[in-house]
Structure 1
Amino acid sequence: MQNIISDQFLSGGGTYDEQSDFMKVGEWIQLSDEFQNSLQVLYNGQYKNGNKIGKWDISVSGKQIGGGIYEEKGDGMKIGEWVELSEGFSSLSQVVYQGEYKNSKKIGRWKILYSKMFDNQFKEIGGGSFDDDIKIGNWIELIDGFGLNGFVTCKGDYKKGKKVGNWMALDYFKNENLGDKLY
């Protein structure tokens, strides 16, 4: 059993199968790589033969805000509805993505949701559609550093996964068109 302990007494860990090259098996609680006092992200679920299976929950500072299902076969494939944290998820940039996977590929409409620091209420601020893991049609996306470097979104179209035509930048909270200054 591996235990990971922060100064707030949250812990994570699980069991390694000593018979099979020390693969993760059974119930696991994992701390995110960015785990810190102000943002305590935990992933909780099952491993089989070193691969995630079944339902996995994502909790932030003790509150479940995301997660989804991995196939029971143990091949690590995401299926069904998911809520995932953004790559830069932080106290200042609490952004999650909500949508559906089929065979580990994003399909259909995906929403981008944002919550103000300590608000715990996520509001849709963007999103768009996927066709077999490829962005298509009209999208509202976040500029890199959203929340840390301002609250700027950009709106435009994708064709076969590539941005096409004009894209407009908008300050989300000021509802101010920034034109093409940032994009």
Structure 2
Amino acid sequence: MQEVLKRFILFLVNVQSLTMEQYKNGSKVGIWNDCYENQYFGGGLYDEQGIKTGRWVDLNVQFNCNYEVTYNGVYKNGLKVGQWNVFFNKEQICQGSYDQYGLKTGKWIDIFDAFNEYNGNQFSREYLVTYNGEYKNGQKFGKWGINYRQQNKTWEQIGGGFYDDDGLKNCKWMDLENSFQYVNIVTYSGEYKNGNKIGRWNVYQNGEPKNEVIQYEQ
């Protein structure tokens, strides 16, 4: 948690909003441009009430020179609407749509931010993890896959499973360890019931079974 806070503070220090800055009654108004180390990467328009409107390019909270992640799309009354695209070092890697209420809907490809967090930003330029699946009323449902790409190689699925209509994991899953490292892919295979792990879970490292089993209550 301290490491996450540290990186957030560094983000605030390094990202400056430049040119045409305006405040009105303490709120941002007009065009604001977001820059990192004096280079323009994003920005957009605030209306007279200080609410984001129109087309925007948002910077990821962990944005840095090795992890140039931006979100490109449209705001309406401060809510993300329509299709949004996610770019990683100028390459589009993720996308999906928001409904009129600002909730994710339909098919999505989400970026796995925890990967960058735990790898100290050192190799994020060459390694990526995404979650692929579908949203309904802002909740994940149905089949989801966890995909991994090393450098410029093809994507490979390393995990995934099913969400029920309440957005809870159910049935068979292959989970990715949160402290994922590009040289040490640890996954867990087992079963969920109503969002809780149950029974025997097997542990794998780089696709090979480890001599380790985790047992949960049924």
TM-score for both structures, normalised by structure 1: 0.89
Whichever residue aligns with residue 66 of structure 2, its letter is S
1:29-40 aligned at under 5 Å gives the runs: 29-40=57-68
* 1:99-138 to 2 correspondences below 5 Å: 99-116=133-150, 118-119=151-152, 121-132=154-165, 133-138=167-172
Cα deviation digits, residues 153-177 of structure 1 (max 9, x gap): 010000111100011110025x242
Q: Answer yes or no: is the 8 Å Cα contact 1:69–1:80 preserved in 2.
A: yes
Q: What CA deviation, in whole Å up to 9, does each residue of 1:111-165 have, x standing for no partner?
A: 000111x225321000000012010000001112111682110100001111000
Are the structure 2 counterparts of residues 67 and 151 from structure 1 closer, same or farther at C-alpha, using a change threshold of 3 Å? same
| SS of alignment partner, residue 154 of structure 2 | coil
Q: Which segment is superposed worse, 23-32 or 142-151?
A: 142-151
Matched, 1:49 2:77: yes
Report deviation, 1:87. 3.0
Letter in 1 for 2:168: I
Q: Distance in 1 between matches of 2:178 and 2:135?
A: 24
Gaps of 5+ in 1: none
Structure 2 unmatched runs, 5+ = 1-30, 117-123
CA–CA separation in structure 1 for the residues paired with 2:154 and 2:70? 19
Question: Is residue 2:41 matched to residue 1:11?
Answer: yes
> For 1:121, what is the secondary structure of its paired residue?
coil
Name the CA distance, whole Å, in 2 between partners of 1:178 and 1:97. 27
Of 96, 99, 115, 1:89 maps to: 115
Matched letter for residue 77 of structure 1: L
Query: Could you say which structure has the larger radius of gyration?
Result: 2
Structure 1 pair 33–52 and aligned structure 2 pair: CA distance change class (3 A)? same
- 8 A contact 1:171–1:178 mirrored in 2: no
Aligned residues between the structures? 176
Give, in whole Å, the separation in 1 of the partners of 2:153 and 2:79.
31
Give SS of 1:88's match. Answer: helix
Q: Which residue identity does 1:62 align to in structure 2?
A: K
CA distance in 2, matches of 1:164, 1:12: 44
Are positions 1:168 and 2:202 aligned together? yes
Determine helix, strand or coil for the equivalent of 2:114. coil
Contact conserved, 1:139 with 1:155, CA < 8 A, in 2?
Answer: yes
Distance of 2:83 and 2:211 partners within structure 1: 41
Contact 1:112 1:126 in 2 (8 A): yes
